Structure 1
């Protein structure tokens, strides 16, 4: 049951018949303080119609509203505040949760629609750093939210496998590389060579030209250069997949930049047909003064194509391949202008579907206040962070629960969950200062805190011999009512998190649910053999169910024991 809808229905049927339910719902608020009630209706917009002060209107309306679901209706200044009867309203809410059970929190409004997500997209031959974590886990969280709302999703890992940097890497390998070392530890060794190239190029600028020439040979299909490039790519993808496996993230496509090499001529031809290409200082561009954007560079003076050309080709391919209803680019906010340009060019070409392409920006992980950079060696390796988190979780298990079954899996769930939740609880547009200490703190507003709350609920159910929900007759205490109010927010939270492309909305909700449940647990003897025990256990079951579902949508495991 939706409390807002129940309140809106009473307002409409008893005092505001000329208003639509939608308009009423848009005004209903949740008071900041619990003692003020569960919901409030502001009367400011009625002042003109009633020709009275909002406070006087609130007094009048409060005296007319009545429902079996309400325990008290009162005026508080210009607001009509409603207190719901915790037993009656609570029973309807919990019954609704039990009725939907596995489907609770899910929606069907996305049914029959497809969302394509461009996410993660690390560069081959470079280590998977903390800098790549955000696109990966935010993208995965958004995909899970989309699926919870009924959409089909296509997750694309648009691997960075093309560009001048590979010419530089090939030069570095030929000058200083050791094939056996690369085979033993491919990513680390290739990264070392990449850094050495830039160190040497600072002293010997001619190396930059050698790198460009090597990449030109790659573009022209030179056999030896191509063999090395394919080898670097294969080794990199294998290393990346180890990390994706740890994160629990899967992809539907690994088509990277190189995949679109033979698809860019069509973009140039389309732009020429529409007479959108202009020459500027020898380069081919699409002017965008009318959109207050810099020109979109399509071909450099030497005829080489660029990121925009490739992204235009990728967009055309993806729409033909997947007929998407939305295409989301989960890429850092520094690329905002680029995606505006790509979208505008497609619209200039007459593709109306380009309106449904959206850049989902996010802030950076910073190290000592500075952006991480593989070129400068200022990088923190994600795999090392994950393994350290898992190791810390193992240590905690050995101290607190040495006989725990599936200890390895639980340590993995908890360690990885700590890293993921540390990211996802933050608004995606905010920068995050990297701190291993904060990330791996297992207390406070963390992933392990949520997982422990879930495990605690499961432990109570095991002790009671309950594996599924029972009946719910209603509970009158305030602590249980606060939990029930949180539970009823789950479906609307999932919808809001999806519509804002913000997993943080769901993460923050789960923290509030866990806090209310732990408060309830601390003030209530749940396993007290009386007429209300079945209802209390059903409430515990509902909390465990919502926590498990919510963590799953964030890509985080929910162990039953810790």
Structure 2
């Protein structure tokens, strides 16, 4: 139900077309205190036009407000404040929720449009660290939010499976690697070799030349280099999949950088034939001076391809393959200039759809105020964090509810949910200081608090022992605690759309916290299970809360256990 549209329609009639409906709706405000009404309209804009004081206009307009949905209107200084008919509105909203059930809050704004999301994208042969968490969970949440808004989504894990780091790794493996150790513990051993390379190169700079040579060999299809690269990739994917299974995240494609090896030359030829490629100190670049950007490096002086070359090929391939309405790149903010360059080059090639490509940056996870770095070994493994969170959740369940069935599954939902929500409740542009203690707190604005609120609502419904809740209400809910919950439930679809519009899961996360807090106040003050005349309505409200919280939790990528 659109409260603002209802109010603006009444105002439009009362003002006798003095303002357009859209203009009226844009001026409507939500009072800071609910004691001042549900909505307010400031009359300042009309003063000059009507040649009356705003306060006088407010008095006149308040008397003319006429709507079944509005219980009363009153003038407070220059404002017209309205109070909605709680009983009537709550009945209507609850009917909508019960009727739509798990589809409540979904939208059709993206119907028939495709969205490609490039996220997670870890580098193979390196452990999946906390540094990868943000792209992974923000990307997954945005995919789910887009689905809820009616878009078709394609989730791409653009693996970092190509580049000069593989020359370094092959060099390190040939110099210090032991086949038996790598076979026993692939990622850990390869990670140690990668760190050792960066330690040794400080004293032996010639190692960098050797690494570059090996990467060139890999690009040329050298059998030994290709065999080692294939081993690094397959073992990495096994490790990554275990973590994705823990997080409950799936992808439509694992086509990484290497997938575009046979597609890059066509891009380079296009650039050359369009006279965009220029020589620069032995390398080849596309100048972007007109866009106030540094030149985009297309090919190194040794002929090796680059990150940008592959992203150009990937952009063209994805447009052809998916015909996207939007292509979202959920990648850290340090890549901002890179994506501007890629878009700039595509635009110079005449691909106007490059404007549909959007970089979704985010801040970093910091450890002791510093960026986590695999190169320097300053890293916290995501799998370790998830397992510790699950263990802590299991311990909490054993203490609080030892009789609970399916404890392991619930502990997984709660533990993983705690880690996910700690990330998603933050504005994505903020840096987050890594703190296991904060992440795993089971009180306050946390994932476990949301899940527990939902489980509490389910518990009330079980205790009521009602087979089904009738969507026929003889008494609406008109107490203030119910009303705050009803107003928030009504915002579900709008918040989902706002989350997509801003490409920010934190909008949805904060909304769910507000709803859970309002529900817990309702639970504390209203005797839900007392069989009063509005018993069915109270149960309907509780049911509606479970529908919205479950949908919200699942959309963020979290489980929603019915018992905790």
Interval of TM-score (by shorter of Structure 1 and Structure 2): over 0.9
1:9-48, aligned counterparts within 5 Å? 9-48=9-48
Question: How far apart in 2 are the matches of 1:222 and 1:17?
Answer: 77
Seen in structure 2, the aligned counterparts of structure 1 residues 298 and 16 have a Cα distance that, compared at 3 Å, is farther
Q: Which deviates more, 260-269 or 15-24?
A: 15-24
CA contact (8 A) 2:363 2:431 kept: yes
Partner of 2:463: helix, strand, or coil?
helix
Question: How far apart in 2 are the matches of 1:382 and 1:87?
Answer: 49
Partner of 1:63: helix, strand, or coil?
helix
The answer for unaligned runs of 5 or more in structure 1 is none
Question: How far apart in 2 are the matches of 1:15 and 1:247?
Answer: 54
CA contact (8 A) 1:461 1:467 kept: no
The answer for unaligned runs of 5 or more in structure 2 is none
CA contact (8 A) 1:118 1:328 kept: yes
1:433-448, aligned counterparts within 5 Å? 433-448=433-448
The offset of 1:407, in angstroms, is 0.7
Question: How far apart in 2 are the matches of 1:174 and 1:51?
Answer: 86
The offset of 1:315, in angstroms, is 0.4
Name 2:213's counterpart in structure 1: 213
Question: How far apart in 1 are the matches of 2:269 and 2:338?
Answer: 21
Partner of 1:233: helix, strand, or coil?
helix
Name 1:78's counterpart in structure 2: 78
Name 1:294's counterpart in structure 2: 294
CA contact (8 A) 1:168 1:208 kept: yes
User: Are 2:332 and 1:332 equivalent residues in the alignment?
Assistant: yes
Name 1:504's counterpart in structure 2: 506
Q: Deviations over 1:88-139 (max 9, x none)?
A: 2211222222232222100112111100001010000001111111111101
When the two structures are superposed, what TM-score results if normalisation uses the length of structure 2? Answer: 0.97
CA contact (8 A) 2:116 2:327 kept: yes
Name 1:96's counterpart in structure 2: 96
Name 1:547's counterpart in structure 2: 549
Count residues in correspondence: 562
Q: Which deviates more, 513-522 or 95-104?
A: 95-104
Name 1:274's counterpart in structure 2: 274
1:398-417, aligned counterparts within 5 Å? 398-417=398-417
Q: Runs in 1 of length 4+ with deviation above 4 angstroms?
A: none
Question: How far apart in 2 are the matches of 1:513 and 1:431?
Answer: 26
Name 2:120's counterpart in structure 1: 120
CA contact (8 A) 2:365 2:372 kept: yes
Name 1:516's counterpart in structure 2: 518
Name 1:481's counterpart in structure 2: 483
CA contact (8 A) 2:54 2:78 kept: yes
Question: How far apart in 2 are the matches of 1:150 and 1:413?
Answer: 26
User: Are 2:537 and 1:531 equivalent residues in the alignment?
Assistant: no
Q: CA RMSD in A?
A: 1.3
Q: Deviations over 1:247-302 (max 9, x none)?
A: 11100000000111111111111111221122222222111111111111111222
Name 2:354's counterpart in structure 1: 354
Name 1:431's counterpart in structure 2: 431
The offset of 1:322, in angstroms, is 0.8
The offset of 1:180, in angstroms, is 2.1
Name 2:561's counterpart in structure 1: 559
CA contact (8 A) 1:468 1:541 kept: no
Question: How far apart in 2 are the matches of 1:304 and 1:171?
Answer: 17
Seen in structure 2, the aligned counterparts of structure 1 residues 435 and 180 have a Cα distance that, compared at 3 Å, is same
User: Are 2:242 and 1:242 equivalent residues in the alignment?
Assistant: yes
1:105-504, aligned counterparts within 5 Å? 105-466=105-466, 468-471=468-471, 472=473, 473-504=475-506
When the two structures are superposed, what TM-score results if normalisation uses the length of structure 1? Answer: 0.98
